[in-house]
Each structure stands twice: as structure tokens, then as C-alpha cells.
Amino acid sequence: MSKRALTKYLQSLPKEELENQVLDLYSRFKPVKDYYNFVFNPKEDKLVEEAKAKIANEYFPLKRKRARARRSVAQKYIKQFLLLEMDAALIADVMLFNIETAQRFNEAKRINQEAFYKSMYNSFEQVVQFTEANGLRAIYQKRIHQVVEIAWEQEWFNAEGLDRCLEEMKLA
């Protein structure tokens, strides 16, 4: 259904029936519920803290023995925050927190999987592009450079790629 057809259909509905449809969507679909909860009560700081706790739990679990170290957990939150159009500075903070947490984990327990480093490179590239696109370079430049320094210290095989990424975005 096109947006135009949907608009025409919605305009033809009585107010009460439209309200019932919105309530039905709210109760059936979690993304709709999340959207309305955010729109009417945008506790961005609370959402960010919840996301950081989940990300930290991936690397430093409180209830299980082994860390899962899944980048997908952080990516899920970042995608959700982008959809909700949260404050760009908070999104960038979560992006960097994910990489910094992975680096702390790598310092404690060396990871030898190439996929981990490729994944962190993708996350790094994403945060550099995001901060540049949203005019947050000045705010996050120090943390971004620190990520690169730690990558060199931990001898990441793609540390040179991180440097190159910075040069391409003119952050070096």
C-alpha cells in the first residue's frame, strides 16, 4: 500500500476506529510500543544507560561465566536509537562505548579471532563517519584517537586501517 493510499484510508475512518487501530498496533507490535513510549516519555539517558549495561554484560557478564562478545547487541541498540532519532551525541557515545569495552575485554583476555577485529573496524568506521556527519568531531576526537592508540598498543592487525580511516575523514 502506498503512503497516499494509506492517508486516504486513514482520513476515511471515524476517529474512534482510528484510535482502536492505533491501540491495536501498540499492543501487537513491540517497535510501535517502543516508538510511542519514546515519543511521550523520551528518557534518552535511561535508554543509553540500559544499552551500555547490556553491552558491558556481553564482555564482562555478571551472571554467566563466559563472555559472548557479540557486536550485534550494540548494533541492535544503535539501530534502534537511530530509528528513534535520539540525540546524535548520545548515539556516538554508545558507539564509542562499545569499542572501548571491547578493547578493555581484549586487554584482559586476548582475542585471536580475525572476525572480532574486522567487526571492531566496522564499528570504528561507523562512529567516525557518524561523528563527522553530525558535527561531533570536536566532542569525540580525543576518544576516537584513544581507540586507535589502544589498538596499536594491543597490536590489532588492522590498527593501520583505523589510522587510514581517520586520515580519510581528516581527523588525524
Q: What is the DSSP string of 79-138?
A: HHHHHHT--HHHHHHHHHHHHHHHHHHHHHS----HHHHHHHHHHHHHHHHHHHHTT-HH
| 7 in any annotated domain | no
pTM of the model as a whole: 0.81
Domain assignment of residue 155, yes or no: yes
> Residue 64 domain-assigned?
yes
Compute the distance between CA of residue 42 and CA of residue 60 in angstroms, rounded to an integer.
28
Determine, yes or no, domain membership for 4.
no
User: What is the total count of domains within the chain?
Assistant: 1
The per-residue pLDDT for range 72-126, each reduced to its tens digit, is 889 999 999 998 889 999 999 999 999 999 999 999 988 888 999 999 999 999 9
Is the residue at 22 inside a domain? yes
Q: Is residue 9 part of a domain?
A: no
